Structure 1
Amino acid sequence: MPNDIMPVSVSFLALVGLVGAVAAAQSPNFWFSFGDSYTQTGFLPNETLPTPGNPFGNPPYPGFTATGGPNWLDFDTTVNNNSLILTYNYAFGGATIDSNLVEPFEPTVLSVTDQVNQFLDGVASKPASTPWTSENSLFSIWIGINDLGNSYFLSNNESAFDTVLLNAEFALVQKLSDVGARNFLFLNVPPTDRSPLLLAESAEDQALLKANILDFNTQLVEFAQAFKRNNTGVSTWIWDSNTAFNTILDDPTAFGFIDATSFGTGPANVFWAEGVAEALSGTVWA
């Protein structure tokens, strides 16, 4: 297993400790997050910004999440850490890396490209309201789910297209590094080939998406390693969501879920929300 991948045996609490460890001697620490519905809380960068008494700024905790309750970012900001974290969560439901490469489900969706530009046009300059530094900040990106889900069936060479996608993502990562970002957390693509949405498709489609996810995740490690080599002072971590999800889906009742296929937004013991997005319940990660 590559050194940059965190094995599933390491608890998510330990992962969150990385956030606090970025600058334990300083308070507060800053978390700048980019992604899709698995991460979204509905933050608007031109409205109320995070403060010690309101670490997400807007909207009020837990925000507008895909499941209607706290998601992983909520838990990790407010519970699973030993430091004060102010979280600027630019993630947007339905996002792809670049809408010019993979169109989102509707044109109003902000891609990760759009999200990073919001950051660059806003608090990247380290204003008095957001005095982040290279040492007290973490930048996380969880993306690729919609990119692969909306494209795996369109090409005879998905591996080449995965390279195109990751080139676009790491061009954005480089822009973040250029303004002072040094600590990067990447989360790979979970096994959405096992989601109820894909289980309703053919076995061929499921196998095709599974292979595409494996290739994307493998290349993600390679891109992260190359980025670290080429940028002095940068630290990178990858959380292997794919392995973690598969561990749970292989034995769902051991983690408090009724099975591996039920979905919905109400019951806390249902793994999948709206057919694809996972609950990331506190019972799993706390």
Structure 2
Amino acid sequence: MHSGDSYTSTGFNASLEAPSIQNPMGNPALGHYLTRTGEKTATDGINWLGHTVTEFNQSSILSYKFAAYGATVDNSIIPAVPKDLHYCKENAVWITTSSIFGIWVGINDVYISPEFDDSLAKISSTIQSYTSLLNDLYLCGARRFFVMNVPPISRTPAMLSNPVQHQVAVDQGTLNFNFQLELMVALWSNHHTKVSITINLDP
């Protein structure tokens, strides 16, 4: 199961065709992605998740994707789209021992946070909410996690068109978010010894 923002979103709808061995992505058809709000995916086609599930593996993976275009971790902290990060509340069938929960979120939090005077506090509150969401997943039975941090989004063409001050603020926000995320994951895993959780440490 995967949660996150437009970098992961494919427009998956839990009410439509479910993933299967014959069609591991479920819906929509591979390469024809539209988000729930009608925009195209970040790659304008097959994104990293589609390649990972259908090409770069030799096993059977069924992918349930609950990422939402423009999502933040918690709308009550950094408002964005109506749906923020969410997990086991969807009607997906999964088994604790064979399920991995991939989480890649925080990009929009970092991008939007400079709009607030208390941007650093916003990031700290966001990480606290992230912790609560991991706890919710754990209570649902999730035991295997893969967490991805925020990439250097200040290098993207869209970001390079912004004022330098905003680029610098986003760079600082990225470093701050990733540092706190890494620390949170380490502390959380220490208190949940039956959990397997991996975090990428790329900038």
- Length-normalised TM-score, structure 2: 0.90
Partner of 1:111: 84
Please state whether the residue corresponding to 2:132 is helix, strand or coil.
helix
Q: How many residues align?
A: 196
Give me the whole-angstrom Cα distance separating, in 2, the residues matched to 1:179 and 1:71. Answer: 28
Give me the whole-angstrom Cα distance separating, in 1, the residues matched to 2:169 and 2:9. Answer: 27
Give me the whole-angstrom Cα distance separating, in 2, the residues matched to 1:99 and 1:241. Answer: 26
Indicate how the Cα distance of structure 1 residues 66 and 194 shifts in structure 2: closer, same or farther if over 3 A, else same.
closer
Pair 1:225-2:186 in alignment: yes
State the 1:121 CA deviation: 4.5
Indicate how the Cα distance of structure 1 residues 62 and 159 shifts in structure 2: closer, same or farther if over 3 A, else same.
same
State the 1:199 CA deviation: 1.9
- The one-letter code sitting in structure 2 at the alignment partner of 1:151 is S
- The one-letter code sitting in structure 1 at the alignment partner of 2:31 is P
> After superposition, where does 1:164-203 map in structure 2 within 5 Å?
164-203=125-164
Whether the aligned pair in 2 keeps the contact of 1:37 and 1:66 (CA below 8 Å) is yes
> After superposition, where does 1:1-286 map in structure 2 within 5 Å?
32-64=1-33, 65-104=41-80, 107=81, 109-112=82-85, 115-116=86-87, 119-123=88-92, 130=93, 132-156=94-118, 158-242=119-203
Whether the aligned pair in 1 keeps the contact of 2:68 and 2:84 (CA below 8 Å) is yes
Give me the whole-angstrom Cα distance separating, in 1, the residues matched to 2:147 and 2:116. Answer: 26
Give CA deviations for 1:102-144 in whole Å, capped at 9, x if unaligned: 121xx5x4211xx32xx32423xxxxxx3x3222110011111
Whether the aligned pair in 1 keeps the contact of 2:78 and 2:122 (CA below 8 Å) is no
Give CA deviations for 1:80-118 in whole Å, capped at 9, x if unaligned: 1121000000111111111221121xx5x4211xx32xx
State the 1:198 CA deviation: 2.5
Unaligned runs of 5+ in 1: 1-31, 124-129, 243-286
Whether the aligned pair in 1 keeps the contact of 2:113 and 2:122 (CA below 8 Å) is no
State the 1:63 CA deviation: 4.2
Whether the aligned pair in 2 keeps the contact of 1:43 and 1:57 (CA below 8 Å) is yes
State the 1:234 CA deviation: 0.5
Please state whether the residue corresponding to 1:210 is helix, strand or coil.
helix
Compute the RMSD of aligned alpha carbons: 1.6
Give me the whole-angstrom Cα distance separating, in 1, the residues matched to 2:110 and 2:143. Answer: 28
Whether the aligned pair in 2 keeps the contact of 1:152 and 1:208 (CA below 8 Å) is yes
Unaligned runs of 5+ in 2: 34-40
Give CA deviations for 1:180-231 in whole Å, capped at 9, x if unaligned: 1111111111111122233222322211110111010001001111110111
Indicate how the Cα distance of structure 1 residues 195 and 66 shifts in structure 2: closer, same or farther if over 3 A, else same.
closer
* Greater share of residues in strand: 1
Q: Which has the larger radius of gyration?
A: 1
Which 4+ stretches in 1 moved above 4 angstroms?
Answer: none
- The one-letter code sitting in structure 2 at the alignment partner of 1:143 is V
State the 1:62 CA deviation: 2.9
